[in-house]
Amino acid sequence: MKLATLRNGRPDGQLVVVSGDLTRCVSAGKIAPHLQAALDTWETSAPALAELSRALNSGAIAAQAFDPGLALAPLPRAYSWIDGSGYLSHLERVRTLAGSKDAELQSARPLLYQGGSDSLLGATEPILVSDDSLAVDFEAEIAVITGPVLMRATRAEAAAEIRLITVCNDVSLRRLVADDLQNGFGFFHSKPSTAFGPVVATPDEFGTAWHDNKLHLKLRVTVNDAFFGQPDAGVDMHFDFADLIAAASETRRLIAGTIVGSGTVTNRHDEVPPIKRDGIGFSCIAEARAVEKLKYGKARTPFLKEGDRVTIAIVDSAGTPVVGSIDQRVALYQR
Amino acid sequence: MKLATLRNGRPDGQLVVVSGDLTRCVSAGKIAPHLQAALDTWETSAPALAELSRALNSGAIAAQAFDPGLALAPLPRAYSWIDGSGYLSHLERVRTLAGSKDAELQSARPLLYQGGSDSLLGATEPILVSDDSLAVDFEAEIAVITGPVLMRATRAEAAAEIRLITVCNDVSLRRLVADDLQNGFGFFHSKPSTAFGPVVATPDEFGTAWHDNKLHLKLRVTVNDAFFGQPDAGVDMHFDFADLIAAASETRRLIAGTIVGSGTVTNRHDEVPPIKRDGIGFSCIAEARAVEKLKYGKARTPFLKEGDRVTIAIVDSAGTPVVGSIDQRVALYQR
């Protein structure tokens, strides 16, 4: 089934079930008022939501048009947003950038950070920055929402708690990253609100593309309507979602509704922008700039400025977005 | 008014109003089912809670005994737990320890980290660790719960959103701190669930002890029933709560229910353990060990082991806990 959270004036929004083709939706209010409530009662709510989904998809019930512009983040305020670093080549590339920390790459254990989770953005909400000279970047990622995970969960236990999958944009202010890392307290100011796809889907909605705790589909990215990348999220994922979730539970339990990010999806290749239409490309600007610096001695791809647009979508083999598209513009924050 | 969250089998517990002397309480269920709901509707819920508090304290209504052993964390699952570093002398002392990062001290801007907020501990819940050789430590802090804070809030705006005050224990696994800091992604495994006092109180409950966005009361700490410290939380707080909250809002807004910690409360002094009963002492073991190393060439105070007990309380001038006591033991986690 596919679910979304629609704006209704309340902090947690309104839970709806969305049709497989993303055109129609129906309120799930009789089952759970919002997604966190559904996750809190998943054993009973999930079968009821699945039944509602079947009725919606078969045309047996009345439905309304699904407007992704009305979607909040699936969990507009979540209790935990943990971003991993599943794709080592992202760090390999980005850490060649001036100002980044010259840390030893970790291939034995995944890096994780606790992100701010109290104000997550819907798919079409603007990226608000006070100053667009902060080197505004996006990071295209896969995110999963889990059930409750015991402390020191095994990989199998972690995998069993993957309930929902979507796409996210881990917005990064690169000029502030180096400061945050230098402080030693981790990302804080450099990571404003993360944005999420308009729809979340259970693993079965991805068919055979979901296996081995990875999503074997392309993540298509455009910047200002120009093709930017389409790495395969199933390729070069060194730490899969079971690894990331299990690692996150090393010293504490995770509750239902925990969001875990894959880290920036990146495939190893030697392309340099501009990326050809059949190329792999990049899921963030920092990586593109890093390879440009190596090749040309100078980064060419600019960071995002006011009004710039980024779209990110998980696409199936036909190129169709499975959980809709993130479609954001950068806007200057004004008090 | 004073509030608490009692265990009722649900994730968010039951909101109660507690009497000023902490002996009695009454359900606030008719006003808000739980504290987050009250914070979401503070403009209407706060006056209603205050009226209930007056009725309780005047003896006008029936009440039940308040048992802090039944208290969950005020927000058992919170959307944001941001820990600051208001007291510079904590970092000054701790960073002399082997394995800590030799970073330049920040006196111009406060350090902040985003803590895990999905499974916060009640005042008497055990500190669960898989292995008590991880250098288990406590950190006694003041914590405030805020209303909504705009992005780039001023100090005055930040101060105006301080709604509730309590005490907390930012449990730290010192053996994992160095690893977390080296990774550059910040504290993660080294900070298991933080524990909070059984009661939260509005600033007015502290009378003149709350001013200049600091709490001018002692934080009394015992370890295994022996006196460990009683630093004054109003002394040597370089960054006050308005500074910490405003800094936290630099690149993103904060929602109602955000918890902000003061950092380990520390006063500058040259005492070395054992601390005399009229001494100032320490609010964490790492600082005591750091000064022991400097004085004796070797740390003497052991970290916490299975069964060890730590108590932490904000006390008034008569030595009475204002929001109750954190009273935790270390327990080994078993699957």
- State which of A20, A36, A70 marks the end of a domain: A70
Q: Do A255 and B114 touch (CB under 8 A)?
A: no
Is a pLDDT exceeding 80 seen at residue B107? no
User: Is residue B98 scored above 50 in pLDDT?
Assistant: no
Are B46 and B111 found together in one domain?
A: no
Query: For residue A258, which residues of chain B lie inside 8 Å, CB to CB?
Result: 118
- For residue B239, the distance in angstroms to the closest alpha carbon of chain A comes to 16
The two structure tokens encoding residue B15: 């909101």
Contacts of A180 in chain B (CB under 8 A): 186
Please give the average per-residue pLDDT across A165-176, as a whole number. Answer: 97
pTM of the model: 0.96
Q: What is the pLDDT of residue B238?
A: 96
Whether residue A159 is found in the same domain as residue A299: yes
CA angle A213, A234, A121 (to 5 degrees): 80
Q: In the 8-state DSSP scheme, what is residue A69?
A: G
Clarify whether residues A32 and A167 are in a common domain: no
ipTM computed for the complex: 0.95
Token pair for B304: 């916490």
Q: Averaged over B43-64, what is the pLDDT?
A: 98
Tokens of B295: 């004085």
Q: Indicate whether B60 and B102 sit together in one domain.
A: no
Candidates A77, A111, A151; nearest CB to B79 = A77
Q: Are the beta carbons of B163 and B202 closer than 8 angstroms? A: yes
Same domain, B220 and B90: yes
Strand partners, A128: A331
Does A235 map to a domain? Answer: yes
Together in a domain, A56 and A175: no
Q: Specify whether A117 is located in the same domain as A228.
A: yes
- Shared domain for B203 and B260, answered yes or no, is yes
Q: Which residues of B are less than 8 Å from A251 in CB distance?
A: 129-130, 173, 176, 189-192
Task: Say how far apart CA A226 and CA A228 lie, in whole Å.
Answer: 6
Tell me how many degrees the CA angle A68-B117-B316 measures, rounded to the nearest 5. Answer: 135
Q: Are A95 and A196 found together in one domain?
A: yes
B185 pLDDT above the threshold of 90: no
Residue ending a domain, choose from A21, A37, A70: A70
The verdict on residue B75 lying in a domain is no
Q: Provide, as residue numbers in chain B, all residues whose Cβ is less than 8 Å from the Cβ of A129.
A: 251
Nearest residue, CB atoms, A183 vs list B106, B151, B173: B106
**What pLDDT, on a 0 to 100 scale, did the predictor assign at position B105?**
52
- DSSP assigned state of B330: E
Indicate whether A91 belongs to any domain. yes
B246: domain CATH number is 3.90.850.10
Q: Where among A48, A70, A92 does a domain terminate? A: A70
Range of the domain at B33: 2-70
Q: Are A184 and B103 in contact (CB under 8 A)?
A: yes
pLDDT, tens digit, 9 for 90 and up, residues B141-169: 999 999 999 999 999 999 999 999 999 99
Q: Are A278 and A297 within one domain?
A: yes
- Candidate from B106, B114, B176 with C-beta closest to A115: B114
| Span A18-27, pLDDT tens digits | 999 999 999 9
Type of residue at B287: E
Contact pairs from chain A to chain B, CB under 8 Å: 135
Q: Tell me the mean pLDDT in the region B275-298.
A: 96
Question: CB burial class (10 A; 0-12, 13-18, 19+) of residue A173?
Answer: buried
According to the 3-state scheme, what is the secondary structure of A85-111?
CCCHHHHHHHCCCCCCCCCCCCCCCCC
Structural domain total, chain B: 2
Instruction: Tell me whether residue A56 is in a domain.
Output: yes
Do B235 and B196 share a structural domain? yes
B197 and B282 part of one domain: yes
Tell me how far apart the terminal alpha carbons of chain A are, to the nearest angstrom: 40
